[in-house]
A and B are shown apart, each in its own frame.
Chain A
């Protein structure tokens, strides 16, 4: 099967899964909304368009973003355990966003909310710190990379905690609300704002798919094959920080999405990053829509934070990958 056919097949399957996830996402909730109800009940209609639909859109954007960045980071660092959460990128973003909230920077500059910018800055700082620590010559030490990520996450989490304690109580509550990862931001307004920043970042990241495909094999070989490694590196860090920063600023730290989804995509559609990247994007949207729907309906009396659901799914998955890797390297 030619690569183009493989890509089309992968995109078709992912898109079908996404369509099913969207239908499930708009239906599931405290009140099950059916097409019939939508026609006759104005309240159901209002819930559907003002609450349910924007929430599904937010889950889709966030899931797609985290997954595509996870796939890119895994390839770039040649590390199957890398994702925005394990490398501390989400943590850095959360700290940046917390600072903005604590200082009451609700404003926007040139239409971009300041909290987006602060979160991007935090994410970028985390990437650079983790990278500096793990890099040794042309080699990125896989163990050091993940350890540095974990420590950056802990420092960032401690920073957020300090902010929660020292800041005004209403702002502290606002910070606490999304540190667990939640997608209950209401209304399409924030979704549009995100889309305006994220769409160009996604598109540019996709243009690096082939470079990432080569980097996933070996950095020096990629350079010998004509990849501008330095430029790709800068682009991947910058775009990952923008994409993760913006999603964290709205949805908080939603762990492991960027780990699970690219692995599933590779398992189903093969290793070629030019296929893994776009299919992770679509499948990631589907995954988080479903995870969020589960978070809404799992416990009848209340709603769980979606970050808890993804962590409960993703944590064991991470450990399973770890044991498999150890077995492989022992051979």
Chain B
């Protein structure tokens, strides 16, 4: 197991817990999806897995070691977090943003060097955004910004990629391209990826595993074919009108 969450609880300040005993384990080289209704705790769980939040109870393990025991820079070489793209205040260039992904590898008072630049440019090319390199991030569309954010995470050369709704701002073509990119990366580098998504049509057959969250815990998990069923989805989304249908090797999902 590369990344594990064991009976993790978390609450913001003194409010009711939003994560209630979440347990999941990710095998190396898995492309996993995290699904669930709004407010079920997906983004919070991803932040916990990234080490950005500390659980109130339970533990997070990276390669069997407790996450808080790993120095920040070491952690940043292994885990990359891709947030929902937010607009930036200052007009940094795209390449400047992607280069920050190399920070965990260069000493504090050093600039990124030529090899870092090559890796950053490759990361941009991987997400089909090489042409954006010298554009200002403040001028990009939401979808383009999302690809830049993903490129930065790839420049980290992580072993685990945690993506918080990366497909939300993307059109049909780019959503499909994103999933293909993640699958290719998994095959080529053995990266493990967890992607929060509301787009259930993306999951089958590209993803290896689906984790379904409800009220702060994992209520169902397995290959897409097992999780994407009328009964499971009706309970996860609390919607008895969810229907699924298999067409070829895909699963279509809708609510009547």
Q: Is the CB of A266 within 8 A of B90?
A: yes
Report the separation of the CA atoms of residues A285 and B68 in the bound assembly, to the nearest whole angstrom.
43
B140 within 8 A of A: no
Q: Which of B18-26, B106-114, B220-228, B238-246 contacts A (4 or more CB under 8 A)?
A: B106-114
Tell me, yes or no, whether A127 is within 8 Å of chain B by CB: no
Are B100 and A225 closer than 8 Å at their CB atoms?
yes
**How distant is B15 from chain A, measured CB to nearest CB, in Å?**
12
Asked whether B111 lies within 8 Å of A274 as measured between CB atoms, the reply is yes
A213-B106 Cα distance, complex, nearest whole Å: 14
State whether the Cβ of A34 lies closer than 8 Å to any Cβ in chain B: no
- Chain A residues, Cβ within 8 Å of B149: 221
- Tell me if A220 counts as interface (CB < 8 A to partner B): yes
Q: How large is the interface on B (under 10, 10 to 19, 20 to 34, 35 or more residues)?
A: 35 or more
Answer yes or no: B45 CB below 8 A from chain A CBs: no
Q: Is there an interface contact between B103 and A214, defined as CB atoms closer than 8 Å?
A: yes
Interface string of A212-231 (1 = CB under 8 A from B): 01101110110111111000
Q: Are A214 and B90 in contact (CB under 8 A)?
A: no
Partner of B81, one of A213, A224, A274: A224
Residues of B within 8 A of A224 (CB): 50-52, 76, 79-81
Taking a contact as CB atoms under 8 Å apart, the answer to whether B111 and A207 are in contact is: no
CA distance A274 to B91 in the complex (A): 15
**Assembly CA distance A328 to B89 (angstroms):** 10
Residue A2 is within 8 A (CB to CB) of chain B in the complex: yes
Distance in angstroms between the alpha carbons of A242 and B49 in the assembled complex = 38
Most buried by A among B72, B86, B91, B108: B72
A interface, size bucket: 20 to 34
- Closest CB in chain A relative to B120 CB, distance in Å: 12
A213 lies within 8 A of B100 (CB): yes
Query: Which residues of A have CB within 8 Å of B50?
Result: 224
For residue B83, which residues in chain A have a CB less than 8 angstroms away from its CB?
A: 218, 220-221
A226/B104 contact (C-beta < 8 A), A3-B111, A4-B111, A271-B93 known: yes
Q: Which of A3, A137, A207, A271 lies in contact with B90, CB distance below 8 A?
A: A271
Interface membership of B6, Cβ < 8 A = no
Whether the Cβ atoms of B109 and A207 lie closer than 8 Å is: yes
Q: Is A80 an interface residue (CB 8 A)?
A: yes
In the complex, the 6 A-B pairs of residues with the closest C-beta atoms, listed nearest first: A226-B76, A3-B111, A226-B73, A224-B81, A226-B72, A78-B89
